[in-house]
Structure 1
Amino acid sequence: MSGSNSSDRGSGAELEAPSPLALTVHSLPAPTLDDAARRTALGRLKMFLILVVCAAPVIASYLAYYVVRPEGRTNYGSLIEPARAMPAALPLADLDGRPVAPASLQGQWLFVVVGGGACDAGCEQRLWLQRQVREALGREKGRIDKLWLVDDAAMPRAETLAALQRGDAVTVLRTERAALAAWLAPEPGHRLEEHFYLVDPQGLWMMRMPAQPDPSRLKRDLERLLRASAGWDRPGRP
């Protein structure tokens, strides 16, 4: 019996204890150069999209004015295509004879009247309408300069000049008719001085208004141009 008990104890001692559960820990992948490049590219893309959003109004106005001209769109004035740049050599001077550089007129829209210094009734009517239409533009009027180009040697009358100083003064410059006629042109059958001419802030003559224009339609054309060109010009001329 004792031998039997001894044998049982011996075989029990030989049973192996259960082994502990083994866990394997895998390390996380380290960032690679490809990840860094991807983040850099994503950051640049976001910056580009921000710039596009900021520039979109300017781009849209440029396209609306210079590129997109739907067939259904109506203008009262005649668009000049291609627009004609103001000649760098156009002779300009103030009424005291001091030369004025054509480039100094850039930066704003120019609402131009042409006429001799004697300024007959038709000339005075156009200068009056020039002032009235510009005033009717309200808060946008500061984006347009009134310009009277005197195309002969006659001196404007004192009463005419005094009338031009009411409100925002008209810029009065003298030039040579032949040089002016090489840039601006009337409709067939009309004279140079019968029209209003619109020059954009880059110095490009781009529209001619009909002779004896309808003031309300003239104003509407100006409003459309100012909306389409928001941001192109500076407010007021020093």
Structure 2
Amino acid sequence: MKDLTSSKLKLAFLLLIAFVPITLATFAFRAATESGGFGGDTVNKGHLILPPADITDLAMSDADGAPLFSSFEEFVATLESEEEYEAQPWLMVYVNAGACDEACEERVFYLRQLHITLGKNVERVRRYYLHAASAPMAQETVDHFREEFPSMGVAYSSAGQLQQNLTANGVEIDLSNDSYVFFIDPVGNVMMYYDGSHTTEDIKTDLDRLLRHSSLG
């Protein structure tokens, strides 16, 4: 038991080394963008979440209701050695609480195109569509996503629970009137979001900067 505890502590310490740079990078990103540090007079396009929320606040589950993500601490606890740890990707999660109408389909399409343009960084990011509506996703939409966007994960959540969790973190969103795109870093920090007023180019500009200034994921 003592050896197991020691191993867990060692693993947690090693993974903390990975965690700290990403967390610091989030704050550095804010400071640099607000001061124009990334060049010119540009600033971040999206809304920064400081301190970040946790990926579990999005309450993402699979079609059977099983949670898709745990907290970083819970994830670490499942590993027996540092060799088992694999770098996780950044996540770009599109949250929609209604039927996926024409505007929704257009957003999903352009997020895929954005992903493709990442080139060598394409494997560092994974896309998700998060269905947060009370009604089941239409089978037509399920089939469309499976056929046209096979690399995009599909997850499910409760709009009410998601909004309540984010409100507790100081993030006010209104899923009844808008959809959102969230960035989540490789250790589960929900650190930036975009509403319907943001263009795909806005999202790409920030994502390019984040990937350029992060050594992980």
TM-score scaled by structure 1? 0.60
Of 50, 68, 73, the match for 1:81: 50
CA contact (8 A) 1:77 1:218 kept: yes
Q: Which residue type is aligned with residue 67 of structure 2?
A: V
**Matched-pair contact (CA < 8 Å) for 1:198–1:207:** yes
Preserved contact between residue 96 and residue 131 of structure 2 (Cα < 8 Å): yes
**Which structure's CA Rg is the greater one?**
1
- Mapped contact 1:62–1:228 kept (Cα < 8 A): no
Counterpart-to-counterpart distance in 2, 1:175 and 1:190 = 12
Q: What is the letter of the counterpart of residue 36 of structure 2?
A: G
> SS of 2:165's equivalent?
coil
Output aligned runs, 1:89-168, within 5 Å.
Answer: 91-95=59-63, 97-103=64-70, 107-116=88-97, 118-165=99-146, 166=148, 168=150
2-structure distance, mates of 1:227, 1:205: 18
Q: How far did 1:152 drift?
A: 2.3
For residues 142 and 162 of structure 1, what CA distance do their matches in structure 2 show? 24
Kindly indicate whether the alpha-carbon contact (under 8 Å) linking 1:181 and 1:192 is maintained by their aligned counterparts in 2.
Answer: no
**1:102 aligns to what SS in structure 2?**
coil
Whether contact under 8 Å (1:150, 1:175) holds in the other structure is: yes
Distance 2:91 2:122 in 1: 11
Q: Secondary structure at the match of 1:110?
A: strand
The Cα of 1:224 is off from its aligned counterpart by 0.6
Letter in 2 for 1:195: Y
Conservation of the 8 A alpha-carbon contact between 2:163 and 2:173: no
User: Which segments of 5 or more consecutive residues in structure 2 lack a partner in the other structure?
Assistant: 1-18, 38-42, 76-87
Q: Which amino acid aligns with 1:103?
A: S
Q: 1:201 to 1:61 in 2, by over 3 A?
A: closer
Q: Which amino acid aligns with 2:49?
A: I
Q: Sort the Cα spacing of 1:183 and 1:227 in 2 relative to 1 into closer, same or farther, 3 A.
A: farther
The runs of 5 or more residues in structure 1 that have no matched partner are 1-57, 234-238
1:227 to 204, 208, 212: 212
Query: Is the partner of 2:154 in helix, strand or coil?
Result: strand
2: distance between equivalents of 1:123 and 1:108? 24
1:72 aligns with 2:53: no
Highest RCO, 1 vs 2 (Cα 8 Å, sep ≥ 6): 2
Mapped contact 1:80–1:207 kept (Cα < 8 A): yes
Inter-partner Cα distance in structure 1 for 2:126 and 2:71: 12
Cα RMSD for the two superposed structures:
3.2
Q: Matched residues in 2 for 1:218 and 1:225: separation?
A: 11
Number of aligned residue pairs: give it: 173
Counterpart AA for 1:169: S
Query: Retained in 1: the 8 A contact 2:178–2:195?
Result: no
Instruction: Find the counterpart in structure 1 of residue 185 from structure 2.
Output: 200
1:178 to 160, 163, 168: 160
Aligned residue runs from structure 1 range 51-66, under 5 A: 63-66=24-27
Alignment partners' CA distance in 1, 2:124 and 2:136:
28
Larger proportion of helix: 2
Is the CA contact 2:181–2:195 (under 8 Å) kept in the aligned structure 1? yes
